Amino acid sequence: MAYVLIALAAAVLALFAYPVFEYYLDAKNLRRFPAPSVAAFTDLWALRYHWTNSRYKAVHEAHAALGPVVRIQPNHVSFTDPRALKDIYGHGSSIMKSEYYDNVAGDYHDVANATDRAEHSRKRRIMSHVFSQKQILTMEQVINNILVNLVEALDNRLSQDIDIRYWFNLFTFDAISSLAFTQSFDFLRQGDDLTLGQRENGSTYPVKIVKTFHDAVSYASFMGHARPGLSAFIRRFFTFVQSSSSRAIEDFGAVCMYKTNQRLRNGTDRGDFLSKLEEIPKGQSEPIPHGEVLAEAAIMLNAGSDTTASALTNTFWLLAKHPEALKKLRAELDLIMDESNIQPHFDMLMASPYLRACLDESLRLRPPVAIGLPRVTPKEGSEICGYYIAGNVTVSAPILELQRHPGLFRNPDSYDPDRWFDEQQLPNLREYVQPFSIGGRACIGRNLAMIELTKVIATVVNRYDVELASPDRELPFVERFNMNPGDCHVRLSRRIRT
C-alpha cells in the first residue's frame, strides 16, 4: 500500500512540477511573451474557457490587458497585430494546421481537418469544383425549393414568438442535405429537427440534430485544444462514463452515416455533392474509401449548416436593431424585387450593393468563426510580426480581434454598412475582413454560404416586418468552435410596402 501511495504522490508531483520545469527551461523562448494567469504553465486556463463556451472573451481580455502578442497556452501564442493574418495564414506561408485538427479528426481526415499538405491538396482538388460558384449556381433551384419551405414555415407562424435562429438552422440543414445527398432532411416542412441516426449494425434511432450537433462541436473543440495525450485521455474518460458529450459525437456521426448510406443506396437522378466523391479520383485506380466518404459527408453537414445559420441570425438581428440600415436596404431591394418574390435569382441580387455591404458588415462585426484558427510553425521556425517563433509552436490570430481592430477601422464595434462605400476604409476592409480565412486553407464553402446568405436575407427582409421580443437585449455569443448566436426571439408580420 505504501508503494502505491508513493507512486501516486510522485505522479501528482510530476504532473505539477513538469509544467514549471518546462516553463523555466524555456526551450522555445516563449517566456518573453506575457500570459494571463497560469496560461503559460498549463492548458487548463484555455480549457476552462472552452468548457464554458467563452474562449473569445478570455482571449480578448488577455490581449486588452497584455498587448498584441500573448501566450494563451504553454505552447500557443496569439497575435492581434494585423500583420499576423498574412504571416500565419497567407499564401506561401510554411505554417501548417496544428495538432488541434488531428485531435478532432476521426479515423479519416476530411478536407477541413487534414493536416498533411499533400492529403489536403488531394482532397481540395476533388471538392473545389463542387463548391465553385459556377457549379453551385447550376443547383440554385435546389436552394430555391428550400427557401420556399422556409417562407411557408414563417408564414404559418406570423405574430407568434419564434426563435428565428432555430428556423435558420432548419433551413441550412435542409439546404445542405438536399445539395449533398439529393434528399433533404425536410425539417422545415415537418417543423422540427428530428431525424434518424444509423448504428454500425444498420439499426436506426431518432436524433434531434441541432442540439446534438452543438453539443458535439463543443466537446470536439474542447478536446482539440488539449495536448494530444490529454486529448486522448479526455476522449477515453468521457466515453467510459458515457457522457452526453461523447454521445453527441456518436449521434451526429450516426446521422451522417444514415444520410450517406441512404443516398448511396438510393442513387440520384441529378448531380449532388456526393456524386463527386463516388467518382474514382484522377490518377487513382480505386474509389475513395467509404470511411473517407463518411468523413467528407460529416464536414459538409457541419460546415454547410452551422456557420451560415449563425451568419443569417446575426445579420437579421443586426438589421432589426438598426432600422435606418434596414430602411435603406429595403429601398434598394424594392427596385429589383416585387413583394411576392420568394425565389430571387442570385444574379439579380448582385445588383444590390447595399445588400452585400450589410452582409459583409455583419460578417465583420459578428464572424461565425471568431477564434484564431490554430496553426503550427515548421521545424525551422517562422517569423511572425517581426518575432522569430521556434518550430512546433502553435500560433493564431483571432478573427474577431482583427476585424474589430481600432487601428484598422473607425468605430469598429458599430454596425455600419456604409463603411463599405468609404474609399478611405475600403483597403483595410478588403485586406483584413476575412471571415472565411485566407490562403490555401481558406473555407472551401464560402461561395455556397454567400449565395444562401444573399438569397435568404433578401427574401425575409423583402417579405416581413420584424419585432424583436426583447429590443434592448444584446444577442449573446456562444462559442463552441463556431461563434453561434444565442436564441433570437422575434415576431414577424407581413410587410406592407409604403
Domain map of the chain by residue range? 75-494
pLDDT at 26: 86
Residue 92: CB partners within 8 Å, gap ≥ 6?
none
In the predicted model, what is the mean pLDDT of residues 439-465? 94
Q: What are phi and psi of 29, to 5 degrees?
A: 60, 45
CB atoms within 10 A of CB 145: 14
- DSSP label of 107: S
Give the whole-number percent of the chain exceeding pLDDT 90.
61
pLDDT confidence tier of residue 119, bands split at 50, 70 and 90: confident
Q: Quick one: pLDDT at residue 80?
A: 98
Residues 6+ apart with CB under 8 A from 283: none
443 labelled ligand-binding: yes
Q: Over range 77-81, report the average pLDDT.
A: 98
Instruction: Report how far residue 350's alpha carbon sits from residue 328's, in angstroms, rounded to the nearest whole number.
Output: 16
Please provide the average confidence, as pLDDT, over all residues in the chain: 89
Q: How confident is the model at residue 131 (pLDDT cuts 50, 70, 90)?
A: confident
Q: Which CATH architecture has domain 75-494?
A: Orthogonal Bundle (1.10)
In terms of pLDDT, which residue wins out, 282 or 305? 305
**How would you label 178-216 residue by residue, b for 16+ Cβ within 10 Å and e otherwise?**
bbbbbebbebbeeeebebbbbeeeeeeeebebbebbbbb
Which are the contacts of 150, defined by CB distance < 8 A and separation ≥ 6?
A: 167, 170, 171, 188, 456, 459
Lowest mean pLDDT: which of 57-71, 119-133, 142-156, 447-461?
119-133
Q: What is the pLDDT of residues 209-261, one digit of tens each?
A: 999 999 988 888 887 777 766 667 766 766 655 677 778 889 999 999 999 99
CB atoms within 10 A of CB 124: 15
> Which pLDDT score is estimated for 8?
58
d(CA 401, CA 479): 14
| pLDDT band of 156, cuts 50, 70, 90 | very high
